[in-house]
């Protein structure tokens, strides 16, 4: 895993500064290349071929092609054999060199041959072009800025900001979108003028202009062989095993994050098939058992005889919040970000690579919101005057519960979500505000000038070719939400500690197979991940196969009522960006209601706190 950067002019000092900014992404080696019309920088975390031969920027034989690459190509050995048969000569054993020769052989179409997680840039001197590409799922990030024909790109925004000509200005539409979604949907970032390259897209720069193209999307064509359910279960099991096995290729120690949930437990089970020696597993724990999965994780660790380590998080230091946000580059309010940041620090003491179970809830329909969508079809039959005039008022008056998933909490979230637009109903437990609340929270010159955030949900849904509601919701999760929230968090929090995280459940071949299966095999009644659970019968203990979704999110709502109370009040009342864009009286009303346990406003308050810290850390102006 690495950090890459560059731009389309020659400046040794600037590219060196950009590269140094990302030393955490690659402490093992640094490399730069500068020539007329190009500057490239690279920080390397050595995983495969630890020698100097794997150093980047990497070139072909005559130096006409230069590559900087971040990620892993899991089919590089097969590709290498094919390219050598075509006459290409390799100077290293690194997976990155495969990209160089594949581009030589196939041009930009070479991207379709890569199986892995990646973000890379290729300078083609003969064509005077820069080719940027990001993997299909969006596991690895890539940002760019274009102004007056000048293209700047990097793995992290903070590297792009090393260019003093690039303004640190707030993107106000991104702010509006972020408050509800808790992330900034691509292609925007919270910085005006700096964009994300969307997942499954590539960009070609030439003569001062860019051409952006989507080269892959998630399709839901039925399995061509019309598999029976039992045959699909068996094929799913085989593809899972293959995906995990391919992700074990490494010249450095590796481990796995084990939450005790179905996805991470499945990965441990498949790893045990291919590793006879010790497997190191890492788990986050809290003393508040309603937020903790320690017992389940320990059960799986014992079952597969792993070397298990537990990181107990007793309190949360404000310095952890602020450091994690600096690494994120822009606000992203996932409540598990800081715990992940801390457990990555712990894991790095023992390994350089960790496998993790991200993507399973999206691909297999594992979140509670899939169940909520189904229940909503029954709830929506109730006449609107009864729903809004009676039920919503009664539920709104119920007090908040300190537990993570108390019955009252779940009911309040469900009913509040019923006010969302129909095309956003699936997001009822993922969209954390309402239009009515935004009107009270945001000042008029923000609320009135910004577009409806659900425009992006509608745009994403329009691209989906699924013909059943569950698969349509899976598409929305995977192609709209997951990349810029879950996967961005995983990349940034792991690379902050120079730790590589691999996500075998998002192997695109495995993902494409899962997409070919009917939605009612994934959500059967109210049973989430139905077909995935079937594939793990007999492999995992029964109670692990059948347990519900919990997750390891931080107990933020309780921390805001205790340890972080004064920090929250001071931060939100003193922040220039909050005072300029939000109605501070309403912000303090939310604080008061949260502290009195009248309502749980932790998501909105935590989102605003992240905005305030971000502005301070990055010296952003409105």
Q: How many CA atoms lie within 13 A of 84 on its CB side?
A: 11
Question: Residues 602, 606, 608, CA angle at the centre, nearest 5°?
Answer: 125
* Close Cβ partners of 214 (under 8 Å, ≥ 6 residues apart): 198, 200, 201
Closest CA relative to residue 155, chosen from 21, 273, 49, 48: 21
Q: Are the C-beta atoms of 313 and 342 separated by less than 8 Å?
A: yes
With a CB cutoff of 8 Å and minimum separation 6, the contacts of 288 are 555, 558
Calpha distance 75→134 (Å, rounded): 16
Q: Considering the candidates 2, 34, 202, 344, report the single residue annotated as catalytic.
A: 2
Report the alpha-carbon distance of residue 45 to residue 70 in Å, rounded.
9
Closest CA to 412 of 426, 392, 389: 392
In the three-class reduction of DSSP (H, G, I as helix; E, B as strand; rest coil), residue 26 is classed as coil
CA dihedral (602, 608, 613, 616) in degrees, to 10, reads -170
CA angle at 425 for the pair 192 and 410, rounded to the nearest 5°: 105
Backbone angles phi, psi at 392, to 5 degrees: -65, -40
Buried b (16+ CB within 10 A) or exposed e, 493-505: bbbbbbbbbbbbb
Q: What is the number of alpha carbons within 13 Å of residue 122 lying toward its C-beta?
A: 28
Element containing residue 375 per DSSP (H, E): helix 368-379
Q: How far apart are CA 132 and CA 108, in angstroms?
A: 10
The CA-CA-CA angle for residues 575, 340, 428, to 5°, reads 70
CA dihedral 121, 123, 124, 126 (to 10 degrees): 170
Residue 284 Cα distances to 341, 361, 462, angstroms: 11, 19, 38
DSSP characters for 566-578?
Answer: HHHHHHHHH-HHH
How many residues does this entry show for the chain?
622
173 φ/ψ sector (left φ>0, alpha ψ -120 to 50, else beta): alpha
Rounded CA-CA distance 481/501 in Å is 19
Query: Cα separation of 322 and 54, whole Å?
Result: 34
Secondary structure class of 380 (helix, strand, coil)? coil
Give catalytic status of residue 450 as yes or no: no
Torsion-angle region of residue 78: left (phi > 0), alpha (psi -120 to 50) or beta?
A: alpha
| Alpha-carbon distances, residue 550 vs 256, 261, 405, 567, 618 (angstroms) | 18, 7, 9, 28, 34
What SS3 class is residue 448? Answer: coil
Q: Give helix 368-379 / helix 469-476 axis angle, nearest 10°.
A: 130
Catalytic positions, written as ranges: 2
């Amino acid at each position: 895993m690495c950090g890459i950067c560059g731009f389309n002019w020659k400046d040794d000092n600037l590219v060196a500064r950009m590269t140094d900014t990302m030393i955490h992404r690659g402490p093992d080696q640094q490399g730069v290349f500068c020539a007329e019309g190009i500057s490239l920088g690279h920080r390397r975390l050595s995983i495969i071929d630890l020698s100097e031969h794997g150093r980047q920027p990497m070139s072909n034989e005559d130096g006409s092609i230069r590559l900087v690459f971040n990620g892993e190509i899991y089919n590089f050995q097969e590709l290498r054999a094919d390219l050598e048969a075509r006459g290409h000569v390799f100077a290293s054993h690194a997976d990155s060199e495969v990209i160089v020769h594949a581009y030589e052989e196939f041009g930009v179409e070479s991207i379709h041959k890569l199986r892995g997680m990646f973000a890379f840039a290729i300078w083609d001197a003969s064509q005077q072009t820069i080719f940027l590409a990001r993997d299909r799922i969006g596991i690895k990030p890539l940002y760019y800025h274009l102004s007056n024909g000048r293209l700047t790109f990097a793995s992290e925004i903070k590297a792009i900001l090393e260019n003093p000509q690039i303004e640190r200005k707030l993107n106000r539409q991104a702010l509006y979108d972020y408050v509800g979604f808790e992330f900034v949907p691509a292609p925007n970032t919270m910085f005006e003028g700096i964009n994300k390259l969307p997942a499954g897209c590539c960009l070609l720069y030439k003569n001062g202009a860019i051409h952006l193209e989507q080269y892959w999307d998630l399709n839901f064509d039925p399995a061509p062989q019309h598999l029976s359910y039992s045959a699909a279960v068996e094929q799913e099991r085989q593809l899972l095993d293959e995906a995990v096995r391919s992700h074990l290729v490494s010249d450095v120690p590796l481990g796995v994050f084990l939450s005790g949930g179905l996805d991470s437990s499945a990965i441990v089970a498949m790893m045990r098939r291919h590793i006879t020696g010790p497997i190191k597993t890492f788990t986050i724990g809290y003393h508040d058992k309603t937020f903790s999965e320690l017992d389940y994780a320990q059960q799986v660790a014992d079952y597969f005889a792993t070397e298990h380590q537990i990181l107990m998080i007793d309190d949360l230091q404000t310095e952890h919040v602020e450091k994690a946000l600096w690494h994120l580059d822009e606000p992203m309010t996932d409540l598990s970000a800081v715990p992940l940041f801390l457990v990555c620090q712990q894991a790095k003491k023992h390994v350089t690579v960790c496998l993790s179970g991200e993507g399973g809830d999206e691909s297999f329909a594992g979140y509670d919101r899939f169940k909520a969508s189904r229940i909503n079809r029954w709830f929506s039959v109730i006449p609107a005057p009864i729903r809004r005039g009676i039920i919503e008022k009664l539920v709104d008056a119920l007090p908040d519960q300190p537990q993570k998933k108390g019955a009252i909490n779940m009911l309040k979230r469900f009913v509040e979500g019923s006010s969302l637009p129909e095309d956003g109903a699936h997001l009822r437990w993922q969209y954390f505000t309402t239009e009515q609340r935004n009107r009270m929270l945001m000042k008029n010159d923000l609320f009135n000038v910004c577009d409806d955030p659900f425009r992006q949900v509608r745009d994403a849904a329009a691209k989906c070719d699924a013909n059943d509601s569950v698969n349509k919701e899976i598409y929305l999760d995977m192609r709209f939400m997951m990349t810029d929230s879950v996967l961005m968090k995983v990349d940034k929090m792991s690379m902050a500690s120079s730790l590589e995280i691999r996500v075998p459940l998002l192997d695109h071949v495995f993902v494409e197979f899962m997409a070919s299966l009917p939605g009612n095999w994934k959500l059967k009644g109210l049973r989430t991940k139905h077909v995935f659970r079937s594939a793990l019968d007999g492999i995992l203990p029964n109670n692990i196969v059948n347990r519900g979704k919990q997750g390891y999110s931080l107990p933020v709502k309780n921390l805001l009522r205790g340890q972080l109370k004064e920090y929250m009040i001071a931060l939100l009342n003193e922040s220039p960006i909050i005072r300029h864009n939000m109605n501070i009286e309403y912000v303090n009303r939310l604080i008061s209601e949260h502290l009195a346990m009248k309502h749980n406003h932790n998501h909105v308050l935590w989102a605003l706190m992240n905005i305030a810290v971000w502005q301070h850390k990055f010296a952003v102006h409105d």
